[in-house]
Structure 1
């Protein structure tokens, strides 16, 4: 009878393939949901690695939003998840939920394009992927809320007006600002950047929400599509 071959544990993987080490190296954007959850779970069982347990949970419940509504008792019904692991998972999801409800300080007011750049530059300057943000503003151009619309290369299909303006309408925003980064460091807008901006401005005109600007953040520099005359 053949002995069942066990998959390697996380500790048996090369250092550059272990989720925790990749996170320490600053590669969080490239970790899967299962790998991130596996870091929280920490230890596996005799039959499953921590990442395998995470995959089981995500397969069972779909995503972090659904997982956050699951009780500790229900988590414990998944093989390999005991009270300690369930508590670790639940605590991390509660923290994430609380973080998402912390309001952005509304004292920040955008008077010129450099204000927008200065507000976003630090958080975007070392990102290895493109991040597209929309900032909702009141009638004095003060921040109401910030939302991440997409992570990865921008396309017309990814940045859809519905994703941008539905939240703006719900929050009674008077204007919006778009911000995204170019990991190359060159903030010159691409043809697709311009097309996306024009499409979003047209949608804003229809719903009565002004597109104040679209800032492209580079390495210590930026381009304002309003300053360039692309947004009128």
Structure 2
């Protein structure tokens, strides 16, 4: 699993251009999983029913996750729409993103090369205008501690930007921490060292 953060869309964006009387409208959105991607595609189809085609592609995960890809030419000649859209998304370095390009046919055929340039180019222009934010990769740590160690422990958590996902105050303090994956190993080591082994944090495996 990748530990490095990656950029994702901050908000939904639409951008339009006209090429030889055909209108190409790109819609970009943050879609963290394939279900969200398909729901966004369906919403564009529903809201823009007069378009001749709704071609799309998505990366519904981290940028390099080949298991989270999808694309469709939606009736355009094979290879002229979905793949060029996907190529732009992959080239952007973004993750968790879906692009739908709606086309209103203007009566002039563009040819296969023209379609590739039109669909890919429309998405490229839209991507250049997209605001993004960083998606941190978080891991879970299970932890159990005596109350006497909590002041030291809370100091370590604050220093590393770690916070509780859930915590129970019983005979011992126990719970699950959300940790930036990049600092997981060092935090476990610090907790062990600073408490002289009294507190042990273990990664939660699903």
Taking structure 1 as the reference length, the TM-score comes to 0.25
Bigger fraction of residues in helix = 1
User: Bigger relative contact order, structure 1 or 2, given CA contacts below 8 A and separation 6+?
Assistant: 2
- Structure (1 or 2) with the greater strand fraction: 2
Greater C-alpha radius of gyration: 2
